[in-house]
Amino acid sequence: TIEKSDFVEWSKSIWSFSAVSAKKIGHPAPFPIELPRRLIEFYSYKEDIILDPFMGSGTTALAAIELNRHYVGYEISQEFVNLAEMRIKEIKNQLKMDKFLNK
C-alpha cells in the first residue's frame, strides 16, 4: 500500500533521482531502482506480474522482487541476460538472509 505522502510526491509530473554508474552496474544505460520501484508500487498490487520487454541489467525485476511481484523479462543480449540473472540471484539471496535474520 502506498503512503499518502508518497502518492502526493509521485503524482508530480517531474521526478528527480540520483544517477547510477554504468561502470558499477555493468550496463551502458542503467537507471536507479527507485524509478521502476515507484511505478510498480503505484500501478500494481502484490503478486501481480510485471513485464519488462527490454530487461537490460534487470533493475525492474529487482524492484518487482523487492515489492513482492512476479516478473517476466526479455533481453536479446546474452551478456545482459547473465548480468540480470546474477543481480536477481543476489537480491533473492539477500532477501532470504534478511527474512532469516528477522525471524
pLDDT at residue 3, as a whole number: 85
Please report whether residue 80 resides in a domain: yes
Is the predicted pLDDT of residue 103 greater than 70, yes or no? no
CATH of the domain at 46: 3.40.50.150
Percent of the chain with pLDDT over 70: 98
- Please report whether residue 44 resides in a domain: yes
- Residue 90 falls inside a structural domain: yes
CA 61/CA 87 separation, integer angstroms: 9
For residue 95, tell me if it sits in a domain: yes
Q: What is the overall mean pLDDT for the chain?
A: 92
Please tell me the pTM assigned to this model: 0.85
Residue pointed to by grid coordinates 551502458: 28
pLDDT in tens, 43-79: 999 999 999 999 999 999 999 999 999 999 999 999 9
Q: CA-to-CA distance for 63 and 65, rounded, in angstroms?
A: 5
